[in-house]
Structure 1
């Protein structure tokens, strides 16, 4: 049965639906296993799990850490983490404070472009969640400055563009792996097609902190999936271990991404979710 999606976002970060709304929509399309993997926050997990219990959906706690490796953005997924871990929550709160400061610096840069953005409107878009560039982009769309979020990034917010602001401090993938380990989670490298870091993936597996690869993703074409299936097999044989293969839609909203995609269109076999749950259980 292909009724699992292990990569989803809510309004706790830059998703378009609240945890309650997202789980309800997942029920409508027949998903049975989902994971909430908001950017640098676990704020939406508890509500999603509670709602999942009502609908008979298994909701896996998760997070997606934004990191940098040699100047390349790398996202690390953490599943089954202890969302009450005090040290983790303190670190994430510090991350949120840095995100707010970064947003304020972006607003200043826009003012220099004679585009005056009300910070309150950005905070409304974030709705108490993790503030990110997509929230700024959505305000620009509402202001009529750009036609859509993609154009906002292309003209202003992408790295190298006039209103881009570098993060105050970039977490490394290894640091993210250590945080996931400390919170008793299972670590997966997200959408590796974006990075071309196969050697690094092998290095991270060798540390014992990386447990698998997101082989199946909405942006992974068949050839890409085959490449990462083969990479996982090669690493397993080299170290005589078993790695997890995960995947999902990276769902934020139907209109998110390069191509519009309805919720539920990208899904993976339930067996991948079941294997992930077994790994999580073994670490608790």
Structure 2
């Protein structure tokens, strides 16, 4: 793979307004072009809704990996550990995967409405219809509620909104995510490539044991996301060593959400060898501008 400006810049984890990002899919790919990226993956939560618009707006020289970030859980401990699986280049029309993603999106919306009801019961003036409108048809999640809290002047940032006094604990409710082994199976059956997102990010909360990742690798997991803003240097090194032991590919990416986060597009990059492995294993072709 050749780059426009030296070493290829490959960002395999970004979000648009199709889920909880602040840029539309069109704006996202244009921003990636401006940032000098060579490859971008669009990985909105539990949806492929942004794919068509992103492909149609690709600037010259930018390649697009179509993907999604699946909301998963591991039930090997109580309570279950929430985690995320990045799925790349899968068939968006695979019936079983389509049905499961629709179920998860419905569960997200139901949870969001129940969280808002809890907030309103405590006298906090946030509006569920306004939150839905702000999502603009995308997958609704806690970040949309966080924005409502910011607009109401109750918190100063998304990070504060996800603190223990708000959505991180007091007003946090579980949702019905996909069992992670089922998610790996579904992605593989849809011809996709599953990669565990930020697997060692202890600053986000509980993480799963290495033994689980070993079992997931045997079940079809393709890789681990190592270079991520929520991984410390030690955690990145741990993930890389584990991936090497298991023969898994390693990715790096920004997890860009626009103004919801301070991290910028291309903050972390994936190596060419890992990118080429993903392309070789996926059933959907890479789109080119």
> TM (normalized to structure 1)?
0.88
Selected match of 1:156 from 166, 170, 174? 166
CA deviations on 1:239-272 (whole Å, 9 max, x unpaired) are xxxx22112011111451xxx2232332233343
2:147 alignment partner, SS class = helix
Cα 1:280–1:229 shift into 2, 3 Å: same
Selected match of 2:110 from 78, 101, 112? 101
Residues 17-26 or 223-232, more deviating: 223-232
Residues 269-278 or 76-85, more deviating: 269-278
> TM (normalized to structure 2)?
0.87
What is residue 205 of structure 1 aligned with on the other side?
Answer: 217
Structure with more helix by fraction: 1
Deviation beyond 6 Å, 4+ runs, structure 1: none
What is residue 204 of structure 2 aligned with on the other side?
Answer: none
Displacement of 1:96: 2.0
Displacement of 1:77: 1.0
Displacement of 1:178: 1.5
In 2, Cα distance between the equivalents of 1:261 and 1:61? 21
Aligned length, in residue pairs: 270
In 2, Cα distance between the equivalents of 1:217 and 1:190? 9
CA RMSD of aligned residues (A): 2.0
Selected match of 1:231 from 242, 249, 252? 242
In 2, Cα distance between the equivalents of 1:114 and 1:281? 50
- Tell me whether 1:165 sits opposite 2:173 in the alignment: yes
1:232 alignment partner, SS class = helix
- Tell me whether 1:35 sits opposite 2:46 in the alignment: no
Cα 1:24–1:171 shift into 2, 3 Å: same
In 2, Cα distance between the equivalents of 1:280 and 1:170? 24
In 2, Cα distance between the equivalents of 1:221 and 1:20? 32
Displacement of 1:4: 0.5
Structure 2: runs of 5+ lacking an equivalent = 1-6, 202-206
Cα 1:91–1:249 shift into 2, 3 Å: same
2:172 alignment partner, SS class = coil
Cα 1:44–1:222 shift into 2, 3 Å: same
In 1, Cα distance between the equivalents of 2:66 and 2:253? 14
In 2, Cα distance between the equivalents of 1:50 and 1:28? 17
In 2, Cα distance between the equivalents of 1:144 and 1:220? 30
